[in-house]
Amino acid sequence: MRITDVRIFPVAQFVYVKIYTDDGLDGLGEASLSGRSLSVVEALKAIKPLLIGQDATRIEFIWQDIFRGTFWRGGPVLQSALAGIDIALWDLAGKKLGVPTFRLLGGAARDRVLLYRHVACDNVKNMVNHAKTLIDDGYRVLRMSPLDAFSSNSGCFDVVRGLHGSVEYIAALRETVGPDIQIIFEVHTRLTPPQAIQLCNQISPYMPYYVEDPIRSENPASFAHIRAHTDVAIGTGEQLHDKWTFRELIERELIDFLRVDICHAGGITEGKKIATMGEIHYQELACHYTASPVSTAAMLHLNLSIPNCAVQEYAPSSEMINGIIKTSHTVNNGYIEASNAPGLGIELDEEAAKIHGPQLPDEPPHWRRADGSVTDW
């Protein structure tokens, strides 16, 4: 099964990769990098000639060839491009053999995957009402990001108000949902280690499932500082792009949940390896996603195949994307299940994709401190 063509479809903020073979099959992957997706498109164009003529069943070989075959390896752009290719190859492999991809990854370690949904936090009343709706829909894990509410129209993030005001939000949410609903507290990397410690200890009485991305992920030693001063569980990783960038956080047991985004971190092949590294240290995956059904399907098949999956991020796709990507997985009562369709169970309508084309999202808020200096998004 030789690769004959690679086509790239930038749609809205997403990048889809379709690989064609000489036996008439094709596989679909995703290489999205929100806000910087057009850079990934150019990387894919450069990689495409390396794929033509390759045996599409040699997934590990192709991964290694792309990663190691250049002096400048890794990084978010190249790893996102590699992820799109890798996911498409796993889709192809399942289609070639007529089985769902998760069966090629070791078979199902579970019947379905638990999902979490994000709760709007523009104000406490809306947050509570939205949470009630999601619980009525069957979701049992909710994520909140109340720090979003503490920025001015000018883009100034008030960290003091945010730290104190967040307690009101999580207290109200916990009172609303009771003890049986898990609450993830999202920070979006906006705090320093001392601020993160303060936040974790303030919200600890409200039993957060974990605090997500309390600080930037570049420096593992900073997580060690947080670890030493709070008993709240920590999750991070959506900004990390391979097993090496996860390694210290895993081996030193500095976090509890691995926020792998397989569309950034080298695809299913690399995601499976990161999960295995985490299993040794009793860490679980809580996968980040790109808000696309291809990302959702790829994560589903990975998570079905590993023993240490905790939860998977999810939100329904837009009507426009649903008109381009056809899926076979189902969401019911807070879980997602794969079908018996071969591969990842996804198909892309090329003509519809060409009509819409790329449309980059607005830049995330470039937040400032009160003195005008830059702080993290």
pLDDT tens column, 243-277: 999 999 999 999 999 999 999 999 999 999 999 99
Give 226-236 pLDDT, tens digit per residue.
999 999 999 99
Mean pLDDT of the chain: 94
Give 63-81 pLDDT, tens digit per residue.
999 999 888 888 999 999 9
Secondary structure class of 88 (helix, strand, coil): helix
Say if residue 361's pLDDT is above 80. no
> Annotated catalytic, 188?
yes
Selecting among 188, 225, 229, 281, the annotated active-site residue is 188
Give 306-345 pLDDT, tens digit per residue.
999 999 999 999 999 999 999 999 999 999 999 999 999 9
Give 170-197 pLDDT, tens digit per residue.
999 999 999 999 999 999 999 999 999 9
Return contacts of 269-273, CB within 8 angstroms, 24+ apart: 269/59, 269/60, 269/63, 269/86, 269/90, 270/63, 270/79, 270/83, 270/86, 270/242, 270/243, 271/299, 271/302, 272/105, 272/302, 272/305, 272/306, 273/243
pLDDT of residue 47: 96
Domains of the chain listed by start with CATH number: 3-99 (3.30.390.10), 103-342 (3.20.20.120)
Using pLDDT thresholds of 50, 70 and 90, give the confidence band for residue 373. Answer: confident
Secondary structure class of 307 (helix, strand, coil): coil
Using pLDDT thresholds of 50, 70 and 90, give the confidence band for residue 359. Answer: confident
Exposure string of 76-90, with b = 16+ CB inside 10 Å and e = fewer, is: bbbbbbbbbbbbbbb
Q: Which residue has the higher pLDDT, 26 or 357?
A: 26
Give 107-161 pLDDT, tens digit per residue.
999 999 999 999 999 999 999 999 999 999 999 999 999 998 887 666 778 888 9
**Percent of the chain clearing pLDDT 90 (strictly above):** 83
Selecting among 130, 241, 264, 288, the annotated active-site residue is 288
> Annotated catalytic, 329?
no
Q: Is 72 exposed, middle or buried (0-12, 13-18, 19+ CB in 10 A)?
A: exposed
Q: What is the DSSP string of 110-133?
A: SSSEEEEEEEP-SSHHHHHHHHHH
CA 194 to chain centre: 27
